[in-house]
Amino acid sequence: AQKITQTQPGMFVQEKEAVTLDCTYDTSDPSYGLFWYKQPSSGEMIFLIYQGSYDQQNATEGRYSLNFQKARKSANLVISASQLGDSAMYFCAMSSDYKLSFGAGTTVTVRA
Amino acid sequence: SAVISQKPSRDICQRGTSLTIQCQVDSQVTMMFWYRQQPGQSLTLIATANQGSEATYESGFVIDKFPISRPNLTFSTLTVSNMSPEDSSIYLCSVDSTGGQSYNEQFFGPGTRLTVL
């Protein structure tokens, strides 16, 4: 069984500052993928970044980077230079057998 | 990345009725998935829809309540049957555009926001 844990229900961040969203996971599968999605109030799920369990380097996509620490089973998302449009719910997810398991989510509010 | 559309985008339904949600992809995909997101909650996988075979349901979800069709590689439907207010949720379809060859391509449709009165 897989489990994704996001311990931060909500966070506030000042515009232009960086924010780190925590995610830990538990799996016995040797091969898996880790995802972060953004869900604005409209409800759509926007893919942000992906990290494979065998990837040696941390994934980066523009202002998003994933701090992957395999031994600690953590996959934290870092958003640099926060913008007002970053205010949303953020979900960490893990894939196994092509199906996604999601964490509870973290609400990020960016303040001007 | 695959472009996914869903119909309807939202609906308000009476209890006891059924609603069919459509998911259309702009390219052929092997795997399509249906998720439910109850208010204030995370996403939960309902079932995997595979073309040419019956859908595979996750624990807690049954075919009688959530029948799924997958007539071809670009289209799927999810029906929410005999609805109750507890079925009020956002229903999302997603696709694995790599045909199961990679973990790194999982995209979602815009979702269907369902309210049951």
Distance of alpha carbon B97 from alpha carbon B29, whole angstroms: 5
A95–B103 C-beta distance less than 8 A: yes
pLDDT in tens, B25-54: 998 888 899 999 999 999 999 999 988 888
B16, B94, B58, A74 alpha-carbon torsion, rounded to 10°? -130
% residues pLDDT > 90 (chain B): 78
pLDDT the model gives residue B71: 93
A43–B110 C-beta distance less than 8 A: yes
pLDDT in tens, A57-83: 999 999 999 999 999 999 999 999 999
Task: Tell me the shortest Cα–Cα distance from B50 to chain A, in angstroms.
Answer: 12
A44–B111 C-beta distance less than 8 A: yes
Mean pLDDT of chain A: 94
Distance of alpha carbon B29 from alpha carbon B76, whole angstroms: 11
Q: Is A89 on the interface with B (CB under 8 A)?
A: no
Q: Is residue B24 exposed (0-12), middle (13-18) or buried (19+ Cβ within 10 Å)?
A: middle
Minimal Cβ distance to A100: which of B45, B90, B113:
B45
Distance of alpha carbon A63 from alpha carbon A16, whole angstroms: 11
Cβ-based contacts of A103 with chain B (< 8 Å): 42
pLDDT the model gives residue B37: 96
Distance of alpha carbon A14 from alpha carbon A5, whole angstroms: 25
Distance of alpha carbon A100 from alpha carbon B10, whole angstroms: 24
Mean pLDDT of chain B: 91
What does the DSSP 8-state code read for residue A95? E
pLDDT the model gives residue B96: 81
Taking residue B101's Cβ as centre, other Cβ atoms within 10 Å add up to 11
Q: Which residue has the tokens 């604005």?
A: A40
Within chain A, which residues score under 50 in pLDDT?
none
